[in-house]
Structure 1
Amino acid sequence: MRVLVIFCHPVETSFNAALHQEVLQGLRAAGHEVDDCDLYAEGFNPVLSREERLGYHSVPSNQLPVKRYVERLQWAEGLVFCFPTWCMGLPAMLKGFFDRVLMPGVAFDISDPAHVKPALTHLKHISAVVTYGRPRWVAWYMGDPPRRVIKRYLRLLTGGSARISYHPYYHMNVATPTTLGAFKAKVRAAMERFA
C-alpha cells in the first residue's frame, strides 16, 4: 500500500520523534511504500493567507499554493498521523495542514453546497499515533478533539469507507521508561499490521 505519514513535532529528540521512527520502520517492514512528510523539517507554512481564503472555493486553482501536498495526499492509499496533543487539540502546524490542504476539490466536493460529497474515498486506512500530557479522563471531559478529528472528521471525508485506527498514549506527564517502551512496541506492531 502507498502510505503517507504526516509527522508533526518540532523536536527531533522527543518521544514523538521516536514514535515517528517506529511508524516508519513498522510500515516499511510490512512492505508498504512510504512517503514521510515531516511538517517541521519540510518547513510547511500552516498559515492560510488572505489570498488563499479568498480563493478557497475556486477549484482547481485553490490547490496551487499547496500543490505538492495535495499530490502526495492523492497518491496515498493510507494515511498515518503522528503528533502530540497540545492544549487539548492538534498542534498549530498540523491544524494548518488540515486548513490549507483538506480543501474543496481535494477532501470534499461542494459543487452542490446542499449535498457536500466526500473526496478522500481513495483512502483505505487512516491511523494516528497521538500523545497526551493529561490522563484519559481529562481528554474525555474535554471531548477528546484529536480523537474526534481522526475518527469522525476524516472518516466523513472518506465517505465512511476507510478503516480508522487510533493509538493514544495518555498521561505523558507520569510516563516511565517501561510504559514508554511498551507503547513504542505497540505502535511498531500496529504499523506492521497496517493494511
Structure 2
Amino acid sequence: MESAKKGAEQQGHEVDVIDLEADGFDPVMHSADLIGFLKHKAQDDQAIDYIERVKLADHLILVFPIWWELMPAMMKGFIDKVIFPGETFDYTKDGTGMTSLLTNLKSTTIMTTMNTPKALYRWVFGDAIQRALIRGTFRKMGLKQVKWLSCNMVKKSSDAKRQQWLAQAEKIGAQA
C-alpha cells in the first residue's frame, strides 16, 4: 500500500487511505445494515463516511492478503457495507443488472498477497477473487477498468521478486 501511495503522491495525486483495522471498522452486517440494504440506505456511520470517500475517488486500490483462498472478513465487510445499493451502485429498471453510481471512478486495482501458487489458486481453488470480487462485484456493477496485482508464493519469494512487486505497486499508484 505504501508503494502505491508513494507513486500516486509523486505524480501529484491526492491520496485518501482507508485503514479498516486502524479505524476499528466493524465488518459485520447487523440487522439494521441488512434492513438498510433492502431500503437502499446505509445505516453504519463509518460505512457512510467510507461511501462518501469512495464516491470522490477516481481510482480505487484495495490491498489485502488472501486467507483460505478468499479475502479476509474485514475486506468482505467493507465490500458488503460500502458497495451498497442506492449509494455506489443501483439495479437496472428490469432488475436483471447493475449500474455503477461511482461517476468519478476511472479504474480499480486489487493488490493481494498469498502463499498459494497462482496456477493452483486458479485451477484447483477456483480463482475466488476473480470470480467474486472482480467479475461478481466490480464488473457486475459496470466497472470496466479492473486490474489485479497478485503477489503469490510470498513466503518463498526472493527479495528481488518482492522489490519487483513494490515497483509494480508504485507504478500502479503513479498511473492512478
TM range (shorter): 0.7 to 0.9
Instruction: Return the TM-score normalized by structure 1.
Output: 0.80
- How high is the sequence identity, in percent, across the aligned residues? 27
Q: Aligned residue for 1:32?
A: 13
Alpha-carbon distance in structure 1 between the residues aligned to 2:36 and 2:9: 38
Which TM-score applies when normalising by structure 2? Answer: 0.88
Indicate if the aligned counterparts of 2:87 and 2:101 stay in contact, CA closer than 8 A.
Answer: yes
- In the alignment, structure 2 segments of 5+ residues that lack a partner are none
Q: CA deviation at 1:63?
A: 4.5
Partner of 1:55: 36
**Is contact 2:88–2:100 with CA below 8 Å preserved after alignment?**
yes
Aligned residues, how many?
A: 172
Looking at structure 2, the residues matched to 26 and 150 of structure 1 have their Cα atoms a distance apart, in angstroms, of 24
Partner of 1:155: 139
CA distance in 2, matches of 1:191, 1:76: 13
Return 5+ residue gaps in structure 1 as ranges: 1-19
* AA aligned opposite 1:163: Q
**Which structure: greater strand fraction?**
1
Residue 145 of structure 1: aligned partner: 128
* 2:98 and 2:140 in contact (8 A); partners too: no
Task: Output the amino acid matched with 2:172.
Answer: A
Work out the CA distance in 1 between the residues paired with 2:12 and 2:43.
Answer: 31
Q: Which amino acid aligns with 1:107?
A: T
For 1:154, the aligned partner's letter is F
Aligned twin of 2:161: 179
The amino acid of 1:68's aligned partner reads: D
Q: Matches of 1:175 and 1:168 in 2, distance apart? A: 13
Contact preservation (8 Å) 1:133, 1:172: yes
Q: Which residue of 2 aligns with 1:103?
A: 84
**Shift of residue 64, structure 1, vs aligned partner:** 5.0
Structure with larger RCO (C-alpha < 8 A, sep 6+): 2
User: Residue 126 of structure 1 aligns with which residue?
Assistant: 108
> Contact between 2:60 and 2:107, CA under 8 Å: does it hold in 1?
yes
